[in-house]
Structure 1
């Protein structure tokens, strides 16, 4: 049965949100993703489980929102250039993925999402849709400036930057060095600038 969601228009208590997110961070750091339960989060945050389920439909959604961003990611700054905007995007993703607490949960979180179609569908409709909107806005600004020769695919750009960072941090275990975001942005910008509208 689908957990009850918070009714539209009902304001959330930010203190409860903060307590839940802090509880998740501490529990993941202590016990890893596998050891995290909704009961443990509720006890640590001193809230009822219903308060958690009104906000999140699964453990995966809860952990992602606590460690990366909420359902609506913050808009990226308009730096005035495609490469600058891409650098800002890469910096946000690198900062999230290189957080030691997220590093303890990230691979298991991805595996859980892949194994459960219902969780994957909610994840796509909330977090991925929010991120895709940010990437779409970035590309629309670049097109308005005349920086792109052809329409660009936001899903492909999103996957390119996200996948590069995920592989760098989790698969290759390479260090996140100064200037890495700019290098990822330069490669992504070059690919976009030379893409053909097929």
Structure 2
């Protein structure tokens, strides 16, 4: 599924968005990522294929937006501390990877990104860039509060937190949970502020 042209049109209908998200979730659970097609999503959601193509330029975008977040990630609260903000971010990441439907879709989604460089580049410019923007916000607030004395690299922080949960879930085959949220937040905060490494999870 590749349809890079997405002309501007009338405002999106949230009911259509909800129907598409619901259809994606149901179909991933039933037929897996490889079996998901635009035709099947459109039929299950009760919408035309054009409605899907207006929103998503690839199967990667369709599935990621349906299961994780759209181009605007879920807003994170300003807790007033670096540790608190990182805990909120870690909680969102762990919650996503804890979802069995998301976990079922990840291998196929990554394979699509690997096989289609144009899709991967667009995915980086949209979904990943927005996530890194959130990380940048967390780090900038910490810098203003004086918790950080130098600017930190949001790309590295984002990759560290995301990669840790990915490895925990898929490489170590362990279920992420609340303790992992706290430990990732604590380890990341310690690394950014020069604290100790902390203790391992489990």
The yes-or-no answer on 1:191 pairing with 2:162 is: no
Equivalent residue, structure 1, for 2:132: 132
Give the superposition deviation at 1:6: 4.0
Once the two structures are superposed, residues 107-159 of structure 1 have per-residue CA deviations (whole angstroms, 9 ceiling, x without a partner) of 21112112210100110111001101100000011001100121100000000
Residue aligned with 1:86, SS = helix
- For the 8 Å contact 1:3–1:54, the answer to whether it is kept is no
Equivalent residue, structure 1, for 2:35: 35
Equivalent residue, structure 1, for 2:6: 5
Moved over 6 A (4+): none
Residue aligned with 2:34, SS = coil
Equivalent residue, structure 1, for 2:82: 82
The yes-or-no answer on 1:153 pairing with 2:149 is: no
Counterpart Cα distance in 2 of 1:16 and 1:85? 32
What is the number of residues matched between the two proteins?
194
Counterpart Cα distance in 1 of 2:168 and 2:119? 26
Once the two structures are superposed, residues 36-86 of structure 1 have per-residue CA deviations (whole angstroms, 9 ceiling, x without a partner) of 011110111111111100000000100000100011012211111111111
Question: CA 1:33–1:17 in 2, change beyond 3 Å: closer, same or farther?
Answer: same
Say which is worse superposed, 104-113 or 55-64, in terms of deviation.
104-113
Counterpart Cα distance in 1 of 2:114 and 2:47? 29
Counterpart Cα distance in 2 of 1:151 and 1:87? 19
In the TM superposition, 1:1-198 aligns within 5 A as 2-7=3-8, 10-194=10-194
Query: What RMSD over aligned residues (CA atoms) do the two structures have, in Å?
Result: 1.4
Unaligned runs of 5+ in 1: none
Counterpart Cα distance in 2 of 1:60 and 1:129? 15
- For the 8 Å contact 1:20–1:41, the answer to whether it is kept is yes
Say which is worse superposed, 64-73 or 172-181, in terms of deviation.
172-181
Counterpart Cα distance in 2 of 1:50 and 1:4? 11
Counterpart Cα distance in 2 of 1:84 and 1:129? 22
Counterpart Cα distance in 1 of 2:7 and 2:20? 15
Q: TM-score, normalised by structure 2?
A: 0.92
Give the superposition deviation at 1:4: 3.2
Counterpart Cα distance in 2 of 1:178 and 1:163? 17
Counterpart Cα distance in 1 of 2:131 and 2:12? 22
Unaligned runs of 5+ in 2: 196-202
